[in-house]
Amino acid sequence: MPVPHGPKPPPMFVQNKDRWTELRKRCAEKKIQFSQARNSVQGLKLQAKTVADFKNLQNLLVSCSFKFHTYSLKEEREIRVVLRGVPKEIPVDEVKEDLLAQNLPVQSVRRILNRSREPLDLVLVSGTAEANDKATKAAFFKIRSVCSLSGVKAEQPRKRALPGQCHNCQSYGHSSRHCFHSARCVKCLGDHGTAQCTRNKDTDGPPACVLCKQKGHTANYLGCPRAPKRPPPPEKAVPRRAPARPVSSTFSYARAAAGPRNAPPAAKNIPTPADDLSQLVSIITVIDTGELAILAKKIPYRREPDGKTNLPN
């Protein structure tokens, strides 16, 4: 019977490509197995087979001072819930105390701000990683009251449209929690962390970006050429339509709404007595009366004893 596979661990991206031979030998000694290892833009992408291989590989990379980044395991990801309807006038510390009193493993509570940096009636609640199970998740999404105020609604946090930026190396696509690259400053080109920067904005001139190496903006500036850009919205398909016919000034809306009409059958030209009489009169008017008298004399006839005149047979 085959052993069921566990959850797939996240990949690791190692920056030290020149140390691949060393890393491969050390993994063979530690019996760390990969399902995939290939070159990528972010570095050597290593996909461990199991969660145990992932943890052993991470410990090996840290102990040997490799520069790499990775992501959280599924069971280590913290619970995050947005609570809608929590008044902005209530401090987040009181909200956290109330949630802890409801036996919820809360790690932090943060007030959500709008683009103008003004507080909203929304808080982001993060649970502890140890309580990342189905029952605890269900309990977080069943929150209906905070600080004795009902009408609170728990929602899933919205996904970011752009990838997040690491506060350690200033690169995009991963967080500082699982970043083991060299620290870089967000304000200058120095090889130090942002907290260790001694730059003075009043005397040292404009900032410099460690990503594009240009002066005039910091590394977290969204207008930087190296910053990710929002994808363009998809174009809506325009339905094809037949070209409209020209509108006639004599064609009314009532005729258009009535639809097509069948033409009436053509009337048959049936002659009437009045038509025959008018045709006879027109013939008579053409013949001269003098010619009629001459014609009558030429026609032979005889008179009968009863006074009637008959034409010869």
Query: What pLDDT score does 230 carry?
Result: 82
What is the DSSP pairing of strand 153-155 with strand 68-69? unpaired
In this structure, what CATH number is given to the domain that contains residue 94? 3.30.70.330
| pLDDT > 70? residue 308 | no
State the average pLDDT over residues 121-135. Answer: 83
| pLDDT > 60? residue 312 | no
Query: What pLDDT score does 102 carry?
Result: 93
Domain termination site, one of 202, 227, 252: 227
| pLDDT > 80? residue 131 | no
Q: Mark whether 60 and 105 lie in a shared domain.
A: no
Distance CA 160, CA 9 (A): 22
Distance CA 229, CA 222 (A): 8
Q: Mark whether 176 and 150 lie in a shared domain.
A: no
Token pair recorded at residue 250: 């004599």
Region of residue 308 (left: phi > 0; alpha: psi -120 to 50; beta: else):
beta
Q: Mark whether 130 and 145 lie in a shared domain.
A: yes
Expressed as residue numbers, the domain containing 105 is 78-155
Domain count across the chain: 3
Per-residue model confidence as pLDDT tens digits over 274-302: 666 667 666 666 555 666 666 666 666 55
Query: What pLDDT score does 298 carry?
Result: 64
The DSSP string of 142-171 is: T--EETTEE--EEEPPPPPSS--B-TTT--
State the average pLDDT over residues 225-250. Answer: 76
Would you say residue 303 lies in a domain? no
Contact 218, 167 (CB under 8 A): no
- Which of the residue ranges 23-27, 76-80, 214-218 would you say has the lowest mean pLDDT? 76-80
How many CB atoms are closer than 10 A to CB 215? 12
Distance CA 106, CA 81 (A): 10
| pLDDT > 90? residue 50 | yes
Per-residue model confidence as pLDDT tens digits over 78-111: 889 999 999 999 999 999 999 999 999 999 999 9
DSSP helix/strand/coil, 259: coil
| pLDDT > 70? residue 118 | yes
Residues 6+ apart with CB under 8 A from 21: none
Would you say residue 170 lies in a domain? yes
**pLDDT band at residue 266, thresholds of 50, 70 and 90?**
low
Query: What pLDDT score does 306 carry?
Result: 60
| pLDDT > 90? residue 149 | yes
- Which of the residue ranges 55-64, 79-88, 157-166 would you say has the lowest mean pLDDT? 157-166
| pLDDT > 60? residue 242 | yes
Q: Mark whether 106 and 122 lie in a shared domain.
A: yes
Computed over every residue of the chain, the mean pLDDT equals 84
State the average pLDDT over residues 36-59. Answer: 95
Q: Mark whether 67 and 49 lie in a shared domain.
A: yes
Three-state DSSP string of 58-117: HHHHHHCCCCEECCCCHHHCCCEEEEECCCCCCCHHHHHHHHHHCCCCEEEEEEEECCCC
**pLDDT band at residue 303, thresholds of 50, 70 and 90?**
low
Contact 125, 106 (CB under 8 A): yes
Query: What pLDDT score does 249 carry?
Result: 65
Domain termination site, one of 227, 248, 276: 227
| pLDDT > 80? residue 256 | no
On the 0-12 / 13-18 / 19+ scale of CB atoms within 10 A, 312 is exposed
- The more confidently predicted of residues 255 and 201 is 201
Contact 109, 96 (CB under 8 A): yes
Would you say residue 7 lies in a domain? no
Would you say residue 4 lies in a domain? no
Residues 6+ apart with CB under 8 A from 151: 85, 144, 145
Would you say residue 239 lies in a domain? no
| pLDDT > 70? residue 4 | no
> How many helices and strands (H and E) does the chain possess?
7, 12
Percent of the chain at pLDDT > 70 equals: 74
Domain termination site, one of 20, 55, 73: 73
Distance CA 89, CA 83 (A): 15
Query: What pLDDT score does 213 carry?
Result: 93
What residue ranges in the chain does DSSP mark as E strands? Answer: 12-14, 34-40, 43-48, 68-69, 80-84, 106-113, 119-127, 145-146, 149-150, 153-155, 302-303, 309-310
The sheet with strand 80-84 has its strands ordered as: 106-113, 119-127, 80-84, 153-155
- pTM of the full predicted structure? 0.64
Contact 168, 182 (CB under 8 A): no
Would you say residue 299 lies in a domain? no
